[in-house]
Amino acid sequence: MGAIGNGGPDWVERPAHRLWLLDQARQLFDLFLPSFDPAGGFRPLDRQWQPLEGPAGVLRQIHDTTRMVHGYALAQELGLPGAGRMIDHGMEALWTRHRDARHGGYVWSFGPEGPVNATKQAYGHAFVLLAASSARMAGHPDADRLLSDVAEVIRTRFWDATAGASREEFTEDWHPLGPYRGQNSNMHLTEALMAAFEATGESEWLRMAESIALLLIDRHARAEGWRVPEHFDDRWQVNRDYAGDPMFRPAGTTPGHALEWSRLLVQLWHLGGRRHGWLQEAAEALFLHTTRIGWDHRHGGFYYTLRWSDRPDREDRYWWPCAEGIAAAHALRRSGGDERFEGWYRRIWNFVAAHFVDRTHGGWFAELDPALNPVERVFRGKPDLYHAVQACLIPLVPPSAGVLQGLRTLSLAGPARG
């Protein structure tokens, strides 16, 4: 693909672009309203925004519930009517359906008859912490209850102070499910810990986030030439041969996660008072290396996964790496990065607008095949509000804050600076 020119002011400095971003976000919030299920939680939706049929249509998973709470907390901060009803509904499902009143913690999924997968996953608990923190910043009356409860579970069950990171998974009654340790859950816990710090001002959360970043990025990703290892054993040694669930634990390396870390490191650098200079250095290195090896420079888009040789493994393009690339490019550019980051910001948005945005039914397609045709191999329908809406809103806020905190200073006329 040819270079995208950077002529004129950065896109985020242009009122029309900022209005376009806000309009895209507003449309997404409207489109996900039919996911509200009076029986509890949120229904997955097909490409036409109708509830999915079959077994997948009745399963309620914790990352879906929590991301909807977080997403509509953003909508409420924007002043969009109807957001409060969605937050209330999600908070109720978290407390009465996902929360395990007997053993503590939060089960992965439930159905009409109760828990379906009752395991306790670090990934899910990270998103409960994010939802609780966002609900607290949005002023929800039950947020403190949820935040206090999940914080205690994370401290006492998941956090490994020796490693400075989270353990991964347990049975319903808290027996470890094996030696596996995962990057993905710890990355999202870093995001949630920063949100908890912004919501409460408690420095413990920031120290924990810095600890995870030090282990996974400054130690491991740096040693791997700015590739982010995904899978580890319980001594935090890299397992290059692991191949698990294609959605949450794919083999090889995942370019989208390196881009996601890039954005999170910029935010962590700012929240910590810019004390740790390596965070900004690492954020730039991760982004530039990933765009070099993970972007299809002929057809566009990020490969889902790469082999350790940097050759594509899963060549399908998913929507969320592009969303994370947009957010990371914005954060790096607004934190003093050069014009390369503005060029990538434009390039990725142009690809999303041309191929991921569904011009017929709205929203974003979840997957494209290597020929850039929409497919449903891993994801069905329109599965997620979280990544797409944050791609629209993060460029409107300073990189020094989480997206909800940043929306409090939203201006449609001026740029978002650190």
Q: So which residues are the catalytic ones?
A: 257, 387
Burial category of 225 from C-beta neighbours within 10 Å (exposed 0-12, middle 13-18, buried 19 and up): exposed
Contacts of 60 (CB under 8 A, 6+ apart): 37, 40, 41, 42, 93, 97, 109, 110, 111
CA distance 159 to 180: 14
Burial category of 27 from C-beta neighbours within 10 Å (exposed 0-12, middle 13-18, buried 19 and up): middle
Cβ-contact 6, 329 below 8 angstroms: no
CA distance 100 to 287: 39
Supply angle C-alpha 210, 214, 215, rounded to 5: 120
CA distance 124 to 108: 7
Residue whose tokens read 């700012």: 270
CA distance 418 to 415: 10
Instruction: Collapse the DSSP code of 57 into the 3-class scheme (helix H, G, I; strand E, B; otherwise coil) and give the result.
Output: helix
Cβ-contact 205, 196 below 8 angstroms: yes
* Sequence-ordered strand ranges (E) for 69-188: 109-111, 114-117, 120-121, 159-160, 165-166, 169-170, 181-182
Task: Read off the tokens for 308.
Answer: 């350790």
Q: Which of 406, 379, 305, 396 is nearest to 345 (CA)?
A: 396
